[in-house]
Structure 1
Amino acid sequence: MSEGVRATPHPLRTLGHRLFELFRTVAQNSPSRFAIFVFVGLILIFTGLFSLPIASANGQVTAFADALFTAVSTICVTGLATVNMATHWSPFGHVLIFIGVQIGAMGVLTLASILGLVISRRLGLRAKLIAASDTNPLRSHGGPVNESQTVRLGDIGALLRVVALSTLVIEFVVAVLLYPGMLASGIEWNVALWEAPFYAAMAFTNTGFTPNVEGVGAFADNYWVLLVLMGGVFLGSIGFPVIFALRRELWHIRRWPLHTKLTLITTTTLFVVGGLVFLGLEFNNPATLGSLDAADTTMQSFFLSAMTR
């Protein structure tokens, strides 16, 4: 019996296999370079998406510089913008912003490490330290850190789960709490269905983009919305390692890691001191808080402190 003719592999399949092998090699041999590759790739992808006519409210192509700046600002959760974020982008563009800040909040390097794990089937020591250091606000330098500056390496898988789960749960709860407050401020129910999760994401990621023209000013007299936003900002500012530690040892303060104690003490101190400073400087200034009553002046002072923190 004659041997059958071997089928020629499809060019696209061959190219895909080579790319997969390239990604796996880079992920195994240099997780830091792979993380940078993912970071730059995400920025380029979002730049292209923001440049699409469907992403802008007027249906026109957004200038490359504005699309690139918005992509970087979104992925890096800076909250800076070169266009009016409320009016320039279409609903599709706002969805891109929403997704981008979620990626930024979870940490591009952490996501790169997870992707590297999927590709290489293993997460090496260096990649684990990169993932841990990316979510550690006390790291003293960029890149990998020593074990004393991170959570225990045996906990890295649990930490990554906490990163994803806490983001979803906290933003969901914040959005649910914001919704009735927005209705009380006169926002239509269908508009609030979108603005509540958007504000929840912006608060927890400490980004600050707003989907409405008035911004947070639309809720200046709504203490409920302001308090919920402050809570979301606080939870986002303490960082995932702290949330991870509190999740395990919430009622056992003596077991809290030093990093957790320092973060909570410092964050709370800055919040209180900042609020008192705003209150002391502006309580008699008619151009800012001087025209408000004592309760409103106090509330606005501490809200400003939370937002600047």
Structure 2
Amino acid sequence: MVVFNMHGLSGHRPLSFRVVRHPAQAVVLGFAGAVAVGTVLLMLPVSRTGEGGAAFVPALFTATSAVCVTGLTVVDTPTYWSGFGEAVILALIQVGGFGIMTLASLLGLLVSRRMGLRTRLTAAAETKAVGLGDVRAVVKGVVKVSLLFEAVTAVCLTIRFRFAYDESLATAAYHGVFHAVSAFNNAGFALYSDNLMGFVGDPWICLPIAVAVIAGGLGFPVLLELRRQLHAPRRWSLHTKMTVTMTAVLLAGGAVFVTVSEWRNPATLGALDTPGRLLAGFFQAVMPRTAGFNSLDYGQMHEGTLLGTNVLMFIGGGSAGTAGGIKVTTFLVLLYVVLAEVRGERSVEAFDRRIDDRVARQALSVVLLSIAAVMSATLVLLVLTDLSTDKVLFEAVSAFATVGLSTGITADLPTSGHLVLTALMFLGRLGPITLVSALALHERQRLYELPEGRPIIG
């Protein structure tokens, strides 16, 4: 936050004004600026393989998808964009992913500074990851974690591309770096026209990408704490316990669900051998967390599989990371709220900790507003197109949760539909962060209470 003080010579009170009134405004303006710059760069003739530059809407859509680390595309990335255009997309992905992790962590620090000293000390002791005000350490930690996972993944992919697929060293390295950055930042952009369907049975490609996706989706605070307390889970903070537990449950449950649902589908898993089915089932359970790579054709999946994938995409990954969705902690908090209400308990407890009522209200606000955004966009897209509800809903959830998975209808949507998805991607990426930070920083104490009322529920 920038503050200017102007002192008059006559001793009058200093005049203060703030350039940015709220941290959430800086987040929105920063990402909007990145999208604008990316759009301009992608519209340059040098960014396209054909003659002339890209049109405004495809450039805007691609830039938004890259900055918001979504992965939805309206044009074929490896054939439509030149090497320069692909480099712009890669840079936008890195800026979007790194910026989100950094800004989310810094907003967490900012919120902690607005609390009382005792609450701040309690939060510091609880998290054991982020101190009260060491912003420089936070930024350095994000950079180190990002580069480490991206470098290791890039090396693994480069070796595989070079020796198993006979790509030149330069091409293998380029593909390795691009997909490593795209994976850790949960972007889902690929340099192959069929995404990763050509590697559906290759564990040396799928597993490194899956690990990078999971790591990026856990979130920086969790990664930092796991590095320090990996072998002492009892000492983990509540946030880490909730994130790791829910991530493991969703990965295992998602893998079983996709594998069983598509096991006999000849257009997806049915065409593979048993090891290939298990690998592809696990891979497609990881991607809704929210990376957007696909080794199977989602357009050929059963409607039940698409509906289950919608749930996985909507929940998303961990907070203060590169994943989208409402976040696993938000979902788990509401789950504990329901359990407490069913049991008739007055307080909500999770992992031997009491969940603050304000946190529960914030979680409920995020979920309801997210549902409203997805449903509104789905209705608009249904009016604009003649597509089936299941495919349109899948597209809307994928855009809002910044996943990037698609049944193949993205490019077929009208220009107005592309603009709806563009707005949905931007809202989905920045909405939860700005909303929660705004709610936390806007806390105020009322000096009176109104009489209690009990409307009939249900």
For the Cα contact (< 8 Å) 2:102–2:138, is it kept in 1? no
**Equivalent-residue separation in structure 1 for 2:101 and 2:257 (angstroms):** 36
Residues 171, 131 of structure 1: alpha-carbon distance in 2 compared, 3 angstrom cutoff: farther
Give the equivalent residue in structure 2 for 1:74.
66
More helix by share: 1
- By how many angstroms is 1:152 displaced? 3.8
For the Cα contact (< 8 Å) 2:229–2:236, is it kept in 1? yes
- By how many angstroms is 1:243 displaced? 0.8
- By how many angstroms is 1:131 displaced? 11
Give the equivalent residue in structure 1 for 2:41.
49
> RCO (CA 8 Å, sep 6+): is it higher in 1 or 2?
2
For the Cα contact (< 8 Å) 1:32–1:127, is it kept in 2? no
- By how many angstroms is 1:277 displaced? 1.0
**Equivalent-residue separation in structure 2 for 1:85 and 1:72 (angstroms):** 14
Give the equivalent residue in structure 2 for 1:26.
19
**Equivalent-residue separation in structure 2 for 1:296 and 1:203 (angstroms):** 21
SS at match of 1:286: coil
Provide structure 2 residue ranges, at least 5 long, that are not aligned to the other structure. Answer: 1-16, 114-122, 290-458
Answer with 153-162 or 245-254: which moved more. 153-162
In the superposition, the TM-score normalised over structure 1's length comes to 0.76
1:171 to 142, 150, 173: 150
**Equivalent-residue separation in structure 2 for 1:58 and 1:131 (angstroms):** 51
1:159 maps onto 2:138 in alignment: yes
Give the equivalent residue in structure 1 for 2:263.
283
Give the equivalent residue in structure 2 for 1:101.
93
1:165-204 mapped onto 2 (5 Å cutoff): 165-183=144-162, 184-204=164-184
- By how many angstroms is 1:200 displaced? 0.3
**Equivalent-residue separation in structure 2 for 1:204 and 1:247 (angstroms):** 17
1:219 to 177, 199, 203: 199
- By how many angstroms is 1:107 displaced? 2.5
- By how many angstroms is 1:112 displaced? 10
**Equivalent-residue separation in structure 2 for 1:286 and 1:113 (angstroms):** 45
Residues 301, 128 of structure 1: alpha-carbon distance in 2 compared, 3 angstrom cutoff: same
Residues 279, 154 of structure 1: alpha-carbon distance in 2 compared, 3 angstrom cutoff: same
- By how many angstroms is 1:164 displaced? 1.2
1:262-301 mapped onto 2 (5 Å cutoff): 262-301=242-281
1:38 maps onto 2:38 in alignment: no
- Write out per-residue CA displacement over residues 189-235 of structure 1, whole angstroms, 9 at most, x where no aligned residue: 22111000100011111110111223212222321111111111111
Residues 302, 108 of structure 1: alpha-carbon distance in 2 compared, 3 angstrom cutoff: closer
**Equivalent-residue separation in structure 2 for 1:112 and 1:301 (angstroms):** 31
In the superposition, the TM-score normalised over structure 2's length comes to 0.53
What is the letter of the counterpart of residue 257 of structure 1? S
Count of paired positions: 261
Residues 296, 131 of structure 1: alpha-carbon distance in 2 compared, 3 angstrom cutoff: farther
Residues 131, 182 of structure 1: alpha-carbon distance in 2 compared, 3 angstrom cutoff: farther
**Equivalent-residue separation in structure 1 for 2:226 and 2:134 (angstroms):** 14
**Equivalent-residue separation in structure 1 for 2:77 and 2:249 (angstroms):** 32
What is the letter of the counterpart of residue 83 of structure 1? V
Give the equivalent residue in structure 1 for 2:286.
306
For the Cα contact (< 8 Å) 1:278–1:305, is it kept in 2? yes
Give the equivalent residue in structure 2 for 1:256.
236
What is the letter of the counterpart of residue 203 of structure 1? A
- By how many angstroms is 1:261 displaced? 1.3
**Equivalent-residue separation in structure 2 for 1:40 and 1:287 (angstroms):** 40
Identical counterparts, % of pairs: 37
- Write out per-residue CA displacement over residues 3-32 of structure 1, whole angstroms, 9 at most, x where no aligned residue: xxxxxxxxxxxxxxxxxxxxx9525x5443
1:80-119 mapped onto 2 (5 Å cutoff): 80-108=72-100, 110=102
SS at match of 2:270: coil
What is the letter of the counterpart of residue 154 of structure 2? A
- Write out per-residue CA displacement over residues 42-74 of structure 1, whole angstroms, 9 at most, x where no aligned residue: 111111111111111114111111111111111
What is the letter of the counterpart of residue 42 of structure 2? F
Provide structure 1 residue ranges, at least 5 long, that are not aligned to the other structure. Answer: 1-23, 115-125, 133-146
What is the alpha-carbon root mean square deviation over aligned residues? 2.7
Residues 131, 95 of structure 1: alpha-carbon distance in 2 compared, 3 angstrom cutoff: farther
For the Cα contact (< 8 Å) 2:47–2:81, is it kept in 1? yes
Give the equivalent residue in structure 2 for 1:129.
110
**Equivalent-residue separation in structure 2 for 1:101 and 1:185 (angstroms):** 26
SS at match of 1:297: helix
- Write out per-residue CA displacement over residues 102-148 of structure 1, whole angstroms, 9 at most, x where no aligned residue: 1111135846998xxxxxxxxxxx7842699xxxxxxxxxxxxxx68
What is the letter of the counterpart of residue 252 of structure 1? A
Answer with 50-59 or 288-297: which moved more. 288-297
1:235 maps onto 2:228 in alignment: no
